[in-house]
Amino acid sequence: MSQTVVNIPPSGPEMESKYEEKVVSPWKEVWRKFKKNKMAVVGFGIVSFFILLAIFADWIAPYGFKETQLNQKHLSPSSEHWFGTDEFGRDIFSRIIYGARISLWVGFLSVAGSAVVGSFLGILAGYYGRWVDTIISRFFDILLAFPSILLAIAVVAMLGPSLQNALIAIAIINVPTFGRLVRSRVLTIKEEEYITAAKAIGMGDGRILLHHVLPNSLAPIIVQGTLAIATAIIEAAALGFLGMGAQPPTPEWGKMLADSKDFMIQAPWTVFFPGIAIMLTVLGFNLMGDGLRDALDPKMKN
């Protein structure tokens, strides 16, 4: 009679630890994938650099942003004035450092406002549908029918030129972008089985939206928010350049470009350095946003 040998895998604490799967937090996994993207890390470094400049501007800037020396106007870059001086003898390096605080403040606050309002409207439109979706979607279509910069100019023209009104205008023109993005996401989420199960056990719409729909919509909101900050900085600079944003002597980068446009040949550094600051900041947020998109996209898991 033949004997059958059955191989039974060994058991015990050692083998349990060997076969035990390591549970990784989703956000740690996102950070791990983000770090693998070298360009995203470069963008994160650029953004972090400008954020630190904005936070410690009072200690880093060698001069005050309003400090004028008329006998030193249009000095070329030197050891005393690293980026030279403008038409009023103000130190451009110091004004760019303080300008980082203004540009980032406008970018973060305007995008935060548009993300909150747009996401709220998008969730309502996608979850309830019918006439709610129709009204909100037509509202988005009306806002998107206008070129963004022209709509921002119109809003500032009605409210009056100032940095705060420019912030409000930038927030308004970004609302439909977040709204349509979240709406499309919610249309998919509300068909999932866990939403059906939540309704079956009697969970109210408020709890479903807060505990299930919103958390599963955060990934595209975060990615779009990062990219929208770059757009908001450009739009704030455009409004400042047109004289409808920050007013003198606020060291806003767009306003600095507008004030220096008549001296491009005589003193090119007055235009070059503010333009480079805008370009680097926008580049940093775009690179970081692309990295977050890849890290948060489940299709990129492998």
For the chain, which residues make up each domain, given as ranges? 50-300
How far is residue 276's CA from residue 272's CA, in Å, rounded to a whole number? 6
Q: What is the pLDDT of residues 48-86, one digit of tens each?
A: 999 999 999 899 989 888 888 888 888 889 888 899 888
pLDDT band at 299, cuts 50/70/90? low
Reported pTM = 0.84
Residue entry with tokens 């953004």:
47
Residue 85 phi, psi (nearest 5): -125, 165
What CATH number labels 50-300? 1.10.3720.10
User: What number of H helices and E strands is found in the chain?
Assistant: 13, 0
Q: What is the pLDDT of residues 190-248, one digit of tens each?
A: 877 878 787 788 777 778 888 888 888 888 888 889 889 999 999 999 998 888 888 88
125 near 183, Cβ under 8 Å? yes
Residue entry with tokens 């650029």:
46
Here the tokens at position 62 are 């060698």
Return the exposure string of 164-197: e unless at least 16 CB atoms fall within 10 Å of the residue's CB, then b.
ebbbbbbbbbbbbbbbbbbbebbeebbeeeebee
Who's near 234: CB < 8 A, 6+ residues apart? 278, 282
Handedness of CA 228, 237, 76, 78 (dihedral sign): negative
